[in-house]
Chains A and B, each alone.
Chain A
Amino acid sequence: MSFSRGERMIFDNIDMDIVRGKVTAIMGPSGTGKTTLLKLIGGQLRPDAGTIHVDGENVHQLSQSALYKLRQRTMGMLFQSGALLTDLSVFDNVAFPLREHTALPESAIHHLVLLKLEAVGLRGARDLMPAELSGGMARRVALARAIALDPEMIMYDEPFTGQDPISMGVLVKLIHDMNHALGLTSVVVSHDVDETASISDYIYVISNGKVVQNGTPVDIKQSSSPWVRQFMGGLADGPVPFHFPAQPLMDDLLQGVKR
Chain B
Amino acid sequence: MNGLANFLQAVGHRLLNRFSRIGRGSLFLWQCLLSLGYLLRRPRLLVAQLYSVGVQTLLIILVAGLFVGMVLALQAYIVLVDFGAEESISLMVSLSILRELGPVFTGLLFAGRAGSALTAEIGLMKSTEQLSGMEMMAVNPMKYIIAPRFLAGILSVPMLTAIFMAIAILGGFFVATEMLGIYEGVFWSQMQTKVDFYDDLINGMIKSVVFGFVVVWIAVFEGYDCVPTSEGLGQATTRTVVHGSLAVLGLDFILTALMFNV
**Chain A contacts to B: CB under 8 angstroms:** 39, 42, 44, 68-69, 71-72, 75-77, 79-81, 83-86, 96-97, 100-101, 142, 145, 149
Contact = CB atoms under 8 A, between A and B. Distances in A.
Contact of A81 (B128, B134, B138, B140): B128
Contacts of A149: 137
A79 B129 contact: yes
Contacts of A101: 138-139
A69 B133 CA distance: 15
5 contacts: A77-B133, A81-B128, A86-B130, A100-B139, A101-B138
Nearest to A39: B132
B59 interface: no
Interface of B: 125, 128-130, 132-140, 144
Contacts of B125: 86
Given A83-B128, A85-B130, A86-B128, A77 B136 contact: yes
A84 B128 CA distance: 9
B231 to A, nearest CB: 18
A77 B129 CA distance: 12
A83 B130 contact: yes
A71 B136 contact: yes
B38 to A, nearest CB: 11
Given A81-B129, A83-B129, A83-B130, A44 B137 contact: no
A60 B134 CA distance: 19
Nearest to A73: B138
Nearest to B145: A85
Contacts of A76: 136-137
A240 B133 CA distance: 34
Contacts of A86: 125, 128, 130
B137 A96 contact: yes
Nearest to B135: A44
B128 A97 contact: no
In the complex, which of the residues B125, B133, B140 has the most CB atoms of chain A within 10 Å of its own CB atom? B133
Contacts of A84: 130, 133
Considering the complex of A and B, which 9 residue pairs feature the smallest CB-CB distances, nearest first?
A83-B133, A72-B138, A83-B129, A71-B138, A77-B136, A68-B138, A97-B137, A79-B129, A100-B139
A72 to B, nearest CB: 4
Contacts of B132: 39, 44, 79, 83
A188 B153 CA distance: 41
A25 B42 CA distance: 39
Contacts of B139: 96-97, 100-101
Given A44-B136, A76-B137, A79-B136, 19 more contacts: A42-B135, A44-B132, A68-B140, A76-B136, A79-B132, A79-B133, A81-B128, A81-B129, A83-B128, A83-B129, A83-B132, A84-B133, A85-B130, A86-B130, A96-B137, A97-B137, A97-B138, A97-B139, A101-B139
Contacts of A77: 133, 136
In the complex, which of the residues A75, A81, A85, A96 has the most CB atoms of chain B within 10 Å of its own CB atom? A85
A100 B137 contact: yes
A71 B135 CA distance: 9
B128 A75 contact: no
Contacts of A71: 135-138
A71 B132 CA distance: 12
Contacts of A39: 132
Nearest to A85: B130
A69 B139 CA distance: 10
B155 to A, nearest CB: 21
Nearest to A81: B129
In the complex, which of the residues B125, B132, B134, B136 has the most CB atoms of chain A within 10 Å of its own CB atom? B136
Contacts of A80: 129
B49 to A, nearest CB: 12
B39 to A, nearest CB: 14
Contacts of A142: 133
Contacts of B128: 81, 83, 86
A68 B138 CA distance: 5
In the complex, which of the residues B128, B129, B137 has the most CB atoms of chain A within 10 Å of its own CB atom? B137
A80 B136 CA distance: 14
A42 B138 CA distance: 10
Contacts of B134: 85
B48 to A, nearest CB: 9
B32 to A, nearest CB: 15
